[in-house]
Structure 1
Amino acid sequence: MSAAYSPEPSSLLLGNCTVLDARVVDGMDPVTDAGVWIRGDRIAAVGRYADVAAEARAAGALTNVDLDGAYVTPGLVNMHTHFSLSLPGSGGDNVKGMGAYDLAHYMADGARRTLRSGVTTVRCVAEKDHADFALRRAINAGRTSGPRIYTAGRALVCTGGHGHESNDTLECDGPVGFRHGVRSQIKAGADLIKVMISGGIAGEHESIHTPQLFTDEMTAVIETAHAWGRKVTAHAGPAEVIGAAVELGLDCVEHGYQLTPEVAARMAERGTALVPTLLVTRCKEFFDELGVPEWMQCRSLGAGPRHLESFDMAIAAGVEVLLGSDMPPFWEFEGTTASVRELEYMSERIGTARAIHAGTRGPIRWLGAESDLGTVEVGKLADLIAMDADPLADTSAFRDVRWVMKGGQIVRDDQNQEDVR
């Protein structure tokens, strides 16, 4: 573009709203009668409407957006996402049977629905055939609509380990094999590494207790990923397996079905986060919809009480807990989406303010994107959602998200019946 042609960025002034974000856990009050000035893809000003409007109008032409009394928050972040999920059963078999073109369209549809639901950022933790990288490129290029994607590519497993039945995992063995596995995902474009270090609820010939990596293999994964500047998250259930990985420098635990107070305390000391995925042990309706076999349903639902105890131990120890549904983020479940239902479960035990943190700023910090996302502040990307009820009073307010913006572009506006992209 020549210097002679430099178009002004789009300019939007949001008004008639209340703005709040995860800084409420630090004592910051919501901003009532608020205004948010969006210039291009970023927030140029936020505060009392009269002050923001004066600043925005002094800068030139802008479009006013009346949010009709809505509450505005950052978009939600789902840290345990699978757009190509294929659990045992008929529903999963249908996904496994898709060819490359069908899978791409299936995942793109899921990404679009995820963004419309108010989830503006996701962390994918095992996707098929590296289709997640193509999806991310398409979204970034504007060819399709979807959230910001941070992805692990294919998860690393031992031969015959958890999830080996699908091509969203890569079988490795021994330290050399796992080092190669890490590097292969980074070569493909992975932002983080996912590794299966124990059995789980979806493996017929294993149990949650089954350890699946030796210490030298876990060491190889964590050391190699860290050397390349990537964090590591691990599918893990039993406390002894988790504890060993935490000592080696593990950055995050997925599920954590069977923590102990001692291991939870060590996670807090070492800064290891937990994505509890509470839904996966209390979602019979979802399992029935996908035709999940009885053996898996029994194992999953039977683990529910201990799973909640484990989550409570993590909270008591001060572990950073982050929102992640494991179910597709947009999936309709118990009257809302999987992301919101997971947030509601978390809120019941940690309160609304901490739940909002767990669904916005906390995940963004883990992802290392806090300079751009996670709060409603000047200079940050305008990834915002709006709803009629106060989420600080009840996180069920997120059930009624009616307006979604990503990067300064309105992608959903129910009142004006707009689905822009």
Structure 2
Amino acid sequence: MSEVVIVNCTVTDARPGGGGRIADAAVWVRGDRIAAAGPRPEVLGQAGGARVVDLGGAYVTPGLVNMHTHLSLSLPGRGGDDVKNMTPHELALYMADGARRTLHCGVTTVRCVAEKDHADFALRRAIEAGRASGPRIFTAGRALVCTGGHGHEGTDTLECDGPDGFRRGVRSQVKAGADLVKVMISGGIAGEHERIDTPQLFADEMAAVLATAHAWGRKVTAHAGPAAVIAEAVELGLDCVEHGYQLTPEVVRRMAERGTALVPTLLVTRCKEFFDELGVPEWMQCRSLGAGPRHLESYALAVEAGVEVLLGSDMPPFWAFEGTSASVRELEYMSEGGLGPERALYAGTLGPIRWLGAEADLGTVEAGKYADLVAMDADPLAATSAFRGIRWVMKGGRVVRDDRAGWEGQ
């Protein structure tokens, strides 16, 4: 069992009350978990002869968590067509490369919310077995959608109709190994023959999804844009909203009261460069970018109401965008939109982990947790842009990135 002790750093995590802020800290990593974290003299006294890793005054936080990930994303247009036309073997390799790049940009956990052909399960097994490099994967498998509904064209969705059909859909994803369930309950920006505010499930279908998933111990997240559709789903017990393009004060109040989280994906309505790069058609660009102002207003309402907001980019987590990765840029937008650096740190680390029910193993820099850590030179509690400077990444006690000259990996 390998052992290292990380020194010359400030530990910063999002535990309430400031308990996760330790100056002149050390983190003792034994195997894949943290054995101790605290003041340097105290930890060094426990660590004995463990190899010392000097981080040169860096700030150390838990790895980022991206809650809206599509490693097999294929939007309308040239770039998306290239992905759709891949063979199963090509798709698996493409997704594995995306997983590796995701981990290297500092995202150590992802929540996949619709992937093609159940390749996400094979990728997760490969990562867990050490045959591939990538983040920890929590996945919904294929998203559930009504016949002809949002995203029905791809193999990352499963068409269902009626309460019985949606119950079977939930069970089929649980059978495949899904950790959660994703359902499309309204139109969106990528469906040519729908509007963002097009309702796509009846109340009895939504109720069937929620009751079945909850009976199997799975949370449900919903692609959803308009307030009326979201309001109905929240009252039925929805656990999380993706996007929330058109929220209202009444809806965010109920979301806060009922504990329904929001993954706002602010990037998707302000990413013309990304769309141009992929050859996304004009009709989708107009719909997406046109929804931007209202989307940002909706997000601000949610923050003000106290809704639990969580990091999720929709754009591939590792994608280079506006000078950084999509994950970091999304977190910056969230911070700038009213969250501020302290709550942004929570939204990008501990908050998502709590939603996933994984806080016993992840989310903070504490003894007993997996050693999933990132390091940067600036203070993330002073400015969320500090994450642009991630220069060192550890997952499960193994260093997977170190920008210092001469580093060759472990």
TM bin (shorter chain): over 0.9
Gaps of 5+ in 1: 1-8
Partner of 2:300: 312
Partner of 2:191: 203
Matched, 1:380 2:369: yes
Structure 1 position 32, deviation (Å): 1.0
Partner of 2:345: 356
Matched, 1:33 2:21: no
Partner of 1:324: 312
1: distance between equivalents of 2:244 and 2:303? Answer: 12
1: distance between equivalents of 2:377 and 2:230? Answer: 41
Point out the more displaced range, 151-160 or 395-404: 395-404
- After superposition, the Cα gap between the structure-2 partners of 1:166 and 1:70, relative to the gap in structure 1 and judged at 3 Å, is same
2: distance between equivalents of 1:416 and 1:16? Answer: 18
Structure 1 position 124, deviation (Å): 0.1
The letter of the residue matching 1:100 is P
**1:171-250 alignment, distance < 5 Å:** 171-250=159-238
Runs of 4+ in 1 over 6 A off after TM superposition: none
Provide the aligned length of Structure 1 versus Structure 2: 409
State the SS of the aligned residue for 1:15: strand
Partner of 2:66: 78
Partner of 1:297: 285
- Superposed CA RMSD in Å reads 0.9
Identity of aligned residues (%): 78
2: distance between equivalents of 1:175 and 1:416? Answer: 58
TM-score, normalised via structure 1 length: 0.96
Partner of 1:420: 409
Matched, 1:62 2:53: no
Structure 1 position 307, deviation (Å): 0.3
The letter of the residue matching 1:92 is G
Q: Does the Cα contact within 8 Å between 2:20 and 2:365 map onto a contact in 1?
A: no
1: distance between equivalents of 2:154 and 2:398? Answer: 36
Q: Deviations over 1:136-190 (max 9, x none)?
A: 0000000010000000000000000000011100000000100000000000000
2: distance between equivalents of 1:407 and 1:281? Answer: 35
Partner of 1:44: 35
**1:123-138 alignment, distance < 5 Å:** 123-138=111-126
Q: Does the Cα contact within 8 Å between 2:28 and 2:47 map onto a contact in 1?
A: yes
State the SS of the aligned residue for 1:285: helix
Partner of 2:271: 283
Structure 1 position 27, deviation (Å): 3.4
1: distance between equivalents of 2:2 and 2:316? Answer: 33
- After superposition, the Cα gap between the structure-2 partners of 1:183 and 1:278, relative to the gap in structure 1 and judged at 3 Å, is same
- After superposition, the Cα gap between the structure-2 partners of 1:27 and 1:49, relative to the gap in structure 1 and judged at 3 Å, is closer
Q: Does the Cα contact within 8 Å between 2:59 and 2:376 map onto a contact in 1?
A: yes
Q: Does the Cα contact within 8 Å between 1:411 and 1:419 map onto a contact in 2?
A: no
1: distance between equivalents of 2:17 and 2:311? Answer: 19
Partner of 1:160: 148
Structure 1 position 418, deviation (Å): 3.5
The letter of the residue matching 1:26 is G
Q: Does the Cα contact within 8 Å between 2:115 and 2:141 map onto a contact in 1?
A: yes
Q: Does the Cα contact within 8 Å between 1:412 and 1:419 map onto a contact in 2?
A: no
Partner of 1:397: 386
The letter of the residue matching 2:2 is S
2: distance between equivalents of 1:144 and 1:350? Answer: 35
Of 1, 10, 17 in structure 2, the residue corresponding to residue 18 of structure 1 is 10
Q: Does the Cα contact within 8 Å between 2:393 and 2:399 map onto a contact in 1?
A: yes
1: distance between equivalents of 2:361 and 2:197? Answer: 39
Structure 1 position 29, deviation (Å): 6.3
2: distance between equivalents of 1:245 and 1:295? Answer: 29
2: distance between equivalents of 1:205 and 1:406? Answer: 43
Structure 1 position 28, deviation (Å): 3.4
Q: Deviations over 1:292-312 (max 9, x none)?
A: 000000000000000011001
2: distance between equivalents of 1:372 and 1:325? Answer: 23
1: distance between equivalents of 2:400 and 2:340? Answer: 30
The letter of the residue matching 1:351 is G
